[in-house]
Amino acid sequence: MSDKILEIQNVSKFFGSVIALQNVSMFVRPGQVTCLLGDNGAGKSTLIKTLAGVHKPSEGRYFFEGEETLFESPREALNAGIATVYQDLAMIPLMSIWRNFFLGSEPLKAGPFFDIENAKQTTREEMAKMGIDIRDPDQPVGTLSGGERQSVAIARAVYFGAKVLILDEPTAALGVKQAGVVLRYIVEARNRGIGVIFITHNPHHAYPVGDHFVILKRGQILGDYAKDEVAIDHLIQMMAGGADLEQLQHELAEATGRSD
């Protein structure tokens, strides 16, 4: 088993008197998927932003590639190889796929000129490597489905050398089939040796792709389990804390019908 590429130890984050995170520890290894599960208000967003360099932890330690690190900005984290794909901020709908793909990191030729042929070609190739078939790179991203958009964002992060990929609820707004598309790219990214942190509130999406599962509740870690240590119904129960058990059982019945 390879070393942890990103790890936080006993991280807390306070906003004034509000304790958003308390004593949170978690890690991800290259070529593995760490699923971060939590219901709304569990502190997922704060944790993502702390990992992505937006927030600095109030307490605790942050390790990247074995060294203690403190990122000053998201850009710094990105340059180090920690790419974050936000649910709604991933893509610009009016721009074509290739323009989106290279936004902010455009390949240049002959001085100041954007190497457009290269950009289109690379976009097509990189998407193909992720197993997505883009028909026309000139297509505006707005005409893609939600799942395809997330996939473009993931492919972009992978292409630009992400070592750690943080995915903020990439499947939340998607239908079953679309979510399946995104889950496949998560596995693709993992197979290419990237450490993936997959944030979701849906255990049915997490369980098939995850290597281990971190459950966050009210700003604290409720548990950290390897896949062989935990069954999906147990995950669900811990996340929801026994609330609305009947509805959960109903969902569970549905889930067993379609998982794998």
Shortest CB 78 distance to another protein, Å = 7
222 forms part of the interface with another protein (CB under 8 A):
no
Diameter of the chain measured on Cα atoms: 65
Rounded distance between C-alpha atoms, residue 168 and residue 49, angstroms: 10
Contact indicator for 39, 217 with CB cutoff of 8 Å: yes
Choosing from 62, 64, 71, 102, the residue that interacts with another protein (CB under 8 A) is 102
Contact indicator for 194, 155 with CB cutoff of 8 Å: no
Shortest CB 71 distance to another protein, Å = 14
Enter the DSSP assignment of 229.
G
E strand segments, 193-234? 195-200, 212-217, 220-226
Choosing from 35, 91, 194, 216, the residue that interacts with another protein (CB under 8 A) is 91
Total chain residues near another protein (CB under 8 A): 32
Only one of the segments 33-41, 116-124, 198-206, 233-241 lies at the binding site for another protein (rule: CB under 8 A); that segment is 116-124
Contact indicator for 60, 91 with CB cutoff of 8 Å: no
Determine how β-strand 18-28 pairs with β-strand 33-38. unpaired
80 forms part of the interface with another protein (CB under 8 A):
no
35 forms part of the interface with another protein (CB under 8 A):
no
Choosing from 31, 60, 140, 208, the residue that interacts with another protein (CB under 8 A) is 140
Residues that bind another protein (CB under 8 A): 74-75, 78, 84, 86, 89-95, 99, 102-106, 108, 112-114, 116, 120-121, 124, 133, 135-136, 140, 142-143
